[in-house]
Amino acid sequence: MKIRRSFLLTASLVAALCVSTASPAAASAGTVTSTVVTPPAVVSGSSLATAFNDGAGGSYQVYSSGQTRNLIRVLSTGVVDTAFNAGAAVPIGIPASLANSGTIRLNATTHAGTGKWWTVASDQMPSSSSGAGITITSGNVQGVVSVTKNIDSATVISKCAEHVSGASTFQTPSLLPRRNGGVWLLVTCGTSLEVNFAQVLSPLTEAGEFDTASRTVSTRAAHGSTASCNLLSTLVADPTSKAPAPEVWMIRPEHNYQESSQCVTGTFGQNASARITGVAGAYVALASLAVSPDGTVTRTQLATSPALQPGGMRIDPGGRPVALAAEITDRTKIKAFRIKADGSLDTSVGTNGFRDLDAGALPAGATALNTSITGIVTTADRTYFAIALSDGEVSGYASNSTTLRVHGFRMGLASMTDGWATGFGTNGIGSRVTTTLPENWFALGRVVATGSTVNAQGEPQNLTLSQTSTSLNIWGAIAGATGGGEGGTGLGGFTRDTGGAPSAGNNGSATGRIDTKVYTRLPSTVQLNTAFTVLSPTQATTQTLTSNTGNTCAVSGSHVVAIATGRCNVTVTRKRDKKVLRTLRTTVNKEISTLGSEVTASNPITFSIASARLSSAARTQIAEIATSAANAKAIVVVGHAAALTESRFNFAISRKRADAVRRALRRANVAAPVTATARGTSQQISRKKTEAAQAQNRRVVVYLIP
């Protein structure tokens, strides 16, 4: 039997790897270094199956031995976390019917803010009669398991049947984090491999139960008036849970072609796409779908020509989805695009919102190419996305053939601003690694490359399996990389490439560049929205800071924060006798610098005329800021006023507004020290004397210092 599909490195099949127990030395940008992974002693005799981000610079790693799966945590230093489950591996739940034999598929995700992990294990393709079902396991960063939940096939298929009439089977279950706890369970389900298939997204609670307060969502939802069918979609959720609504983004290829009155879908889309594009009058269009926390779906059409197949999606540091698609008729022709908060294309980059990326000729011997975004890399002025390019000797594999086949993997780096990164590999594409495996491994969907992501140093990486071992492949980082990861709001700090704050509002994230130096003198010039530590912990017990230029720089604890352009003057005073010990001077400007910690400024919290009362919207915004401030070292709250009354009142009301926000942050149990300061009317957004203009000035801005 021939199964006509290519092995596709999609987000639903791979998980993020941060570090290995044996990280190879750094290589030049785009050059790959491969190291065979040696299992640590706690899982000796096992083989590394997959790994995923722990949200703190390290990784959770799953090792397999026969039909068992065991989880360990590896710290960012590359050593096993002995505090995780008291140094022992955590057994991962699998369906009981797979305890002795069968193919185990495993997928995982992490809530980056808490480090809580989730896994889902299943059979290759469970049916309503097999009873194998799925097993959900969840635990925390200490290795304490809180959920082991078995869900039988009939229950999962009943969720499918809400959207696919006659659904009898499902496959490739995966997980996406939910913003308020729990996960989304994503399964592909239907009645056959090529027709009447859909992806169904079901909300699960923290207890692993189906959440009856939210609806299940199908990738068939909210179709346009002319495209009644769709191929497989690519989905993403912000792992930091900090992006503004929606909760899940989808990119869906839509079409109008049916066979025997049923939509042609195709389990992996590519073959169905080729069939559709060969039919006169048939077409494939792209649409974005925004899924709200309660399951409401909003659709926006993106493009109708040329026909494109999505290839993965990630959230950029500004909280916006960046996606990849390949032309169906020539998959070496790749297009990248970015979605705005309203679901439409960001046409400020590329051509009509699409950035053309030509992957060039296939490597010698390769006949097929698949591409997917696997992570994000940031520099001072660019956001790059890592692109996995996987190729094979044939485009479809026979499930009964043991013929050895070569499969290759490369990593590329590109940005929406420039296209392929010229400083990475050859024309933006790094060197190639290969693995040789029996043909039926590919045909049966056995994972031959996983852990595809970007590590905290900005290095793209993945794991490749051979018949005897697992190798960690790391491609050297591009020059000037300031951070990396699987994507998410605030990753690596906001850069000029993302337009600064997220397009739908930024309520802060203390995850940007961190400068740990204690400065005895400030640099002659510093970048706007940066912070500098000027007191050591010992000095902070006997000394205090005072800003003499409050309109330009504020102080909080041991830190000086640049909040506006201009001259900055700060004195260091001895607490005991108020003696001035030194004066720190600098100039704040907007030029990009590598010095200082990047400070995140919230969207303005606005107020009514002559009022310091917090509205319900303001309270919601402050709650989001409090969540984002979990890792902040200090917080500065700056109050402002409109210029429609006398200056004495304006300064007083700006102080009251800052104090109101400071108290609300305290009530939200923010651990970092919070300093409130008032600016009156000295920093006006608008100087027009109309009410509409002055309403912008009645505000408080919160600065998070990482």
Write the pLDDT tens digit of every residue in 256-266.
777 666 666 65
Looking at the fold, whether 235 and 341 belong to one and the same domain comes out as yes
Give the containing element (helix H, strand E) for 655: helix 647-667
Looking at the fold, whether 449 and 302 belong to one and the same domain comes out as yes
Q: Pick the residue with more confidence: 705 or 92? A: 92
Looking at the fold, whether 458 and 553 belong to one and the same domain comes out as no
Looking at the fold, whether 447 and 550 belong to one and the same domain comes out as no
Tell me, what amino acid is at 173?
P
Give the model's pLDDT for residue 400: 73
Token duo for residue 568: 């900055």
Band of residue 622 on the pLDDT scale cut at 50, 70, 90: confident
Looking at the fold, whether 439 and 528 belong to one and the same domain comes out as no
Helix axes 616-628, 647-667, angle to 10 degrees: 60
Query: Which residues are paired to 124 by β-bridges?
Result: none
How does strand 229-230 pair with strand 217-218? unpaired
- Final residue in a domain of this structure, among 451, 485, 519: 485
Q: What CATH number does residue 286 fall under?
A: 2.130.10
Looking at the fold, whether 232 and 271 belong to one and the same domain comes out as yes
For residue 332, CA distances in Å to 243, 367, 539 come to 32, 11, 59
Looking at the fold, whether 609 and 537 belong to one and the same domain comes out as yes
Q: By C-alpha distance, which of 219, 233, 238 is closest to 180? A: 238
Looking at the fold, whether 531 and 636 belong to one and the same domain comes out as yes
Write out the residue range of the structural domain in which residue 133 sits: 2-485
Query: Which residues are paired to 338 by β-bridges?
Result: 322
Torsion sign (Cα): 411, 473, 482, 491: positive
Least confident residue range of 166-180, 358-372, 499-513: 499-513
Q: What CATH number does residue 631 fall under?
A: 3.30.1330.60
On whether residue 499 sits in a domain, the answer given is no
On whether residue 493 sits in a domain, the answer given is no
Write the pLDDT tens digit of every residue in 533-552.
899 888 888 999 998 988 88
On whether residue 501 sits in a domain, the answer given is no
pTM of the model: 0.67
Overall domain count for the chain: 2
List Cβ neighbours of 612 (8 Å cut-off, separation of 6 or more): 653, 656, 657, 659, 660
Looking at the fold, whether 481 and 511 belong to one and the same domain comes out as no
Tell me, what amino acid is at 202?
S
Token duo for residue 105: 């598929």
Q: How many residues does the chain have?
A: 706
On whether residue 491 sits in a domain, the answer given is no
Looking at the fold, whether 379 and 442 belong to one and the same domain comes out as yes
Looking at the fold, whether 442 and 311 belong to one and the same domain comes out as yes
Looking at the fold, whether 431 and 529 belong to one and the same domain comes out as no
- On the question of pLDDT at 11 being above 70, the answer is no
Q: How many CA atoms lie within 13 A of 423 on its CB side?
A: 11
% of the chain with per-residue pLDDT over 70: 81
- On the question of pLDDT at 357 being above 90, the answer is yes
| C-beta atoms surrounding 213 within 10 Å | 9
Give the model's pLDDT for residue 2: 28
Cα dihedral 32, 38, 40, 41 in deg (nearest 10): -170
On whether residue 492 sits in a domain, the answer given is no
Query: Which residues are paired to 677 by β-bridges?
Result: 638
For residue 584, CA distances in Å to 559, 560, 612, 637 come to 12, 10, 33, 22
Token duo for residue 151: 């869900």
Band of residue 92 on the pLDDT scale cut at 50, 70, 90: very high
When pLDDT is averaged across residues 301-320 and rounded to a whole number, the result is 82
Q: Exposed, middle or buried: residue 351 (CB in 10 Å: 0-12, 13-18, 19+)?
A: exposed
